[in-house]
Homo-oligomer: A and B are copies of this chain.
Amino acid sequence: MFSKTSQYTLRALVYILLENSKGRNPGFREIAREIDSPAEFTGKILQDLARKKIVSSAKGKHGGFFLTEAQRQISLRTIIEHIEGENIFQSCGFGLKYCDAANPCPLHEEYATIREQLQQYMNSHTISHLAFQTDGQRIYLKREAL
């Protein structure tokens, strides 16, 4: 349901945070290799996210990408909204510009409920939540096959 760009973004940011916590700032080639995404395209995405202050970057030798403490607090919702647009979590399932409880499209009720749940989750979780799961599961960012 999310675009490739959103998926690469989430995978990349989780990888960056995991490496940061080992004291490393990975470059985009390494990131792309480890999350299995096209390198140059991933570079472009990160460049974009850096412009939007969602991730930080350092140029030059020993440069790379990293998340500041503040950036680790950014909600998944904010991140995704920067990519997919402001109303990804509000837009009508039927594609109507104006669709609300008073004047609903035929899909409104159920769709709104489900959409709200996703929004709620994305609102209350961060890249840190994704990177440091409490259930001890190992993190898969790359797996193409078993």
Minimum Cβ distance to chain B for residue A12 (Å): 11
Across the A-B interface, the 10 shortest Cβ-Cβ residue pairs: A7-B95, A106-B130, A110-B121, A114-B118, A114-B117, A97-B144, A1-B1, A98-B143, A98-B146, A96-B143
Nearest-neighbor residue (CB-CB) of A36 within chain B: B96
Name A residues whose Cβ lies closer than 8 Å to a Cβ of B: 1-2, 4, 7-8, 10-11, 14, 88, 91, 93-99, 103-107, 110-111, 113-115, 117-118, 121, 125, 130-131, 133, 137, 139-146
Task: Known pairs A1-B93, A107-B130, A111-B118; list 19 more (Cβ under 8 Å).
Answer: A7-B95, A10-B107, A11-B94, A14-B106, A94-B141, A96-B141, A96-B144, A97-B143, A97-B145, A98-B143, A103-B140, A104-B140, A105-B141, A106-B130, A106-B133, A110-B121, A111-B121, A114-B114, A114-B118
Task: Please report the C-alpha to C-alpha distance between residue A137 and residue B130 in the assembled complex, in whole angstroms.
Answer: 41
29 interchain pairs, CB-CB under 8 A? A1-B1, A1-B91, A1-B115, A2-B95, A4-B95, A7-B93, A8-B95, A10-B94, A10-B107, A94-B141, A96-B140, A96-B143, A96-B144, A97-B143, A97-B144, A98-B143, A98-B145, A98-B146, A104-B137, A106-B130, A106-B133, A106-B139, A107-B130, A111-B118, A113-B117, A114-B114, A114-B118, A114-B121, A117-B117
